[in-house]
Amino acid sequence: MKNINYIGEHLLIGNIGHAFIVLSLVAALVSVVSYYFYSKEQLTSDWKKIANYSFTIHSISVIGIAATLFFMLFNHYYEYSYVWQHSNNEMPLEYIMSCFWEGQEGSFLLWSFWNVVLGNILRKTIDAKWEAPTMAIFALVQVFLASMLLGIYFGDYKLGSNPFILLRENPQFADMPFVQMENYLEKLDGRGLNPLLMNYWMTIHPPTLFLGFSSTLIPFVYAIAGLWKRDFTTWQKPALTWTFFSIMILGTGILMGGAWAYEALSFGGFWAWDPVENSSLVPWLVMVGAGHVMIINKNKGGSLFMTHLLAIASFLLVLYSTFLTRSGILGKNSVHAFTDLGMQGQLVIYVLTFILICVILLIHDKLIRISYIIVSLLMLFFGITFGHKVALLLGWMLISLVLTIYSYMKFFPKEEEEESLYSREFWMFVGSLVFLLSALVITYFTSIPVMNKLFQGWLYESEKAGIKVADYNMWQTPFAIIALLLVAITQYFKYKKTDPKQFLKHITLSGILAVVFGASAVIPLYFLKDYSSSSTTEKWNLISYALLFISALFAVFCNLGYWMRILKGNVRHAGASIAHIGFALILLGALVSTSKKQTISQNTSQKNVASLGDNFSAKKSLVLTKGDTLPMGNYLVTYTGKERKGIDVFFHMDYFKKDKDGKLVKAFHLSPMVQDNPRMGQASNPDTKHFIGSDIYTHITYADLSDNKEVKADAYKEPTNFVGHMRDTIFADNAIILIDSITTNLTEEQYSQNDSLLVVTAVLKATDINGNIYRAAPKYILKNNMVLPDEFELNELGLKFIFWKINPNEGSIEIQMSEKVNNTKEFVVLEAYMFPFINVLWLGCLVMIIGTIIAIIERRRVNKLKAQ
């Protein structure tokens, strides 16, 4: 093969990155082994030194990998596949960070980086008793994350995906002609960032979310250390603060994702029960449950198995969400999911390894433990060698479940006495179970693509479809109502036992206020219309909305009352109450803004919007011609024109209201944007007007993005070539053209026998925006095997067609279409929604975060006082 001396490649920086990856993996492995032996020989400090030094080297290596990748992105080293795929020359500087974690390799690296940060904080602050077992598991997690970046082949199996692979070495591009040229970098530009990620939220949402994922590791390693040391209680004291830190950070990351979806996506909302949204919400729900059972253990003792279960499950669910989003198994079920980079098997092993470790440490009997390990390894071997992976996996999971239940029943400490019905710990435990059950329901529905892959064709034939947003809402509303009621009343109970009369006295006023204010709100919101023809489901939804509304108010009033009356307004001790108020406000804001979301963009023009396609409806799509003023909801809106800034095209809209004299007064201005990315396609970005009581949310669904310049009256734009079959559709700016039929004057046999003129006519049916139908008949003329171009002008629509090619093998034809410049008045199609009281949701987010921070600070202060 010809050796090519490539010009301009920066190979040294890539080799440095490779070296850092290998060093990080080796150092993490040494750290795991050293911490393990250190845990066996507490009196020997040599293993501790080796373990700490190797973890430090690993930390430096991870930082080195990140710094190297950032350096390559900032300098646009497109010879590297990762840089070429995720950035380009036009990329604004503020989005370079988004390029870093857009791909799988970058997101794994971000996760590993946060683990390094938290791991070093942990090992500097942890008690010596817990250092070895916690850090051994911590370093093992880092081994797996480092392996995700290796990109090394073992036979046909690829271990990890390397961010420092050269573009010309990437199997997808290695055979492309341009990488065979020695100077291919001279004019090479990157593919660029996904348009949906070019938003300021995406510079802060992913790192916050991944910090949240990393934070779940600390309660996990503490729980594993508790099993390791057979000390099921004392680990919970240092883990408690970390648990609520995880609740705060992961919750903040999830809420940031909702804000990004609301501001950058065009589905018209902040939460769509997308599988990736769900897979971040579920670990948070479980972690909330873990934090509250830890509080029970701290104040009263007990709930030992549940604290271990929830702390461990939260991290395992993070691993499962990693598998869902990065294995490619979700396919088109999620707008967030990554494509498969061949790491599906590696991710499965990652999840199963930590399940294996948990079960091994839970088993007390040495013979059973060794037998379980041998059986697990044999099942893995047979699965890899002989197949039947699904059956073996299910069998292994069943064995693991049976051994977990057996170990719990036989060896795990149990509570000696039952909790009182009128005790705080009883209702906190019930609340944790509610969160766990909610998480399990969400996990089940989210895992339908996984179940299809495992069981379709085995347990059932047809593919199971995922459920809709409305179904998710219906399933989760009862859990939300119960959670709000528990959030309202639980703080009024005392540990061990509470006087029922005193308890009822405390909550009565809040209950009355909730019912009075709730009823006065829900009746006009939900019950003043005639619902006699509504379905049973719709009627149940209305009842559940009312119950949820009143329950949210009850939670707000109860926690406010507890703060003011019981805590005497003391902010320092009110962290939990404030966080609970925030939680209730989030659910209240989500309920009202979603259930009373109003479409205000019904088409009030005379244009037939349905002619633009099946996705356009007069019930939700408003056609706005430039300069026209049309009613939209409580406003009148005028489209004033468009403005291009780089690849972003802004569409300027002025909104008016009438004053008391009937004159139009400008109320506000919005500029929804469409990103016209030549490599990644077009993406609509909404623009929203925020009021105290509601939001007006708008986005463009159809527009001409071309630049309008002064040209001759009869001038045409550059022709566009269309390849199509019978009944295919061609889109013009002012019409939709259907290839209705194709006729010919001769058969193929007649033409071959005579030197005749062959005329093939494409009969086109053009429908304009008003629904008027026009016909065009461009001809393909062939004489003496020579094509004679023939133009057909459809003057009514300002269109010109040239039928110039027939592809008999594919059964397709090719038609060039040209459109007259300034053929029609410029117009756009707009969708707009009104979200009432959505600011209650955003206020709740801030209040919950502030309350959690106050609780964490107070808990640290108390722990320091006790340590003195």
Q: How do residues 728-759 score in pLDDT, each as one tens digit?
A: 888 777 778 889 888 887 765 665 556 567 88
107 within domain boundaries: yes
| C-beta separation of 101 from 66 below 8 A | no
The β-bridge partners of 803 are 815
- Structural domain contains residue 240: no
CB of 561 within 8 A of CB of 510? yes
Show the tokens assigned to 487. 């959030």
3-state SS record for 747-775? CHHHHHHCCCCEEEEEEEEEEECCCCEEE
Instruction: Confirm if 230 and 407 have CB atoms less than 8 A apart.
Output: no
| 585 occurs within a structural domain | yes
Whether residues 635 and 728 fall in one domain = no
Does residue 127 sit in the same domain as residue 27? Answer: yes
Q: Does the residue 466 lie in any domain?
A: no
Asked whether residue 665 falls in the same domain as residue 730, the answer is: no
Residues 87 and 158 in one domain: yes
**Domain assignment of residue 42, yes or no:** yes
Q: Please give the average per-residue pLDDT across 859-865, as a whole number.
A: 80
Residues 644 and 749 in one domain: no
Domain co-membership, 819 together with 831: no
Domain count, the chain: 4
Is 50 exceeded by the pLDDT of residue 1?
no
**Which residue range is the domain that position 688 belongs to?**
617-704+827-836
* Mean pLDDT score, 562-583: 92
Strand-pairing partners, residue 819, are 799
Which range among 119-133, 281-295, 322-336, 658-672 shows the weakest confidence by mean pLDDT? 322-336
Mean pLDDT, residues 419-427 taken together? 85
Which residues fall within 8 angstroms of residue 172, CB to CB, at 6 or more apart? none
In a domain, 345, yes or no: no
Quote the CA–CA distance of 803 and 817 in Å, as a whole number. 9
Q: Write down which residue in 176, 198, 220 finishes a domain.
A: 198
If asked whether residues 175 and 42 sit together in one domain, one would say yes
User: Residue 699 domain-assigned?
Assistant: yes
Which of 144, 165, 198 lies at the terminal end of a domain, its last residue?
198
Q: Give CB contacts under 8 A, 24+ apart, made by 404-409.
A: 404/359, 404/362, 407/362, 407/363, 407/364, 408/305, 408/362
Tens of pLDDT along 18-30? 999 999 999 999 9
Q: How far apart are CA 511 and CA 558, in angstroms?
A: 8
Residue 406: burial class (beta carbons within 10 Å; 0-12, 13-18, 19+): middle
Average pLDDT in the 475-481 region? 93
> Does 180 lie in the same domain as 77?
yes
Q: What is the pLDDT of residue 338?
A: 47
375 occurs within a structural domain = no
Instruction: Indicate if 4 and 48 belong to the same structural domain.
Output: yes
Domain end position, chosen among 539, 565, 596: 596
Q: Say if residue 585 is in the same domain as residue 638.
A: no
**Which residues does 542 contact at the CB level (< 8 Å), separation at least 6?**
526, 527, 531
Is there a single domain that holds both residue 542 and residue 689? no
Helix (H, G, I), strand (E, B) or coil at 841: helix
Give the range among 31-45, 58-72, 496-510, 541-555 with minimum mean pLDDT.
Answer: 31-45
* 185 and 78 in a common domain: yes
Residue 786, pLDDT score: 78
Whether 652 has a pLDDT exceeding 80, the answer reads yes
Pairing of strands 773-776, 758-768: antiparallel
Are 703 and 693 in contact by the 8 Å Cβ rule? The answer is no
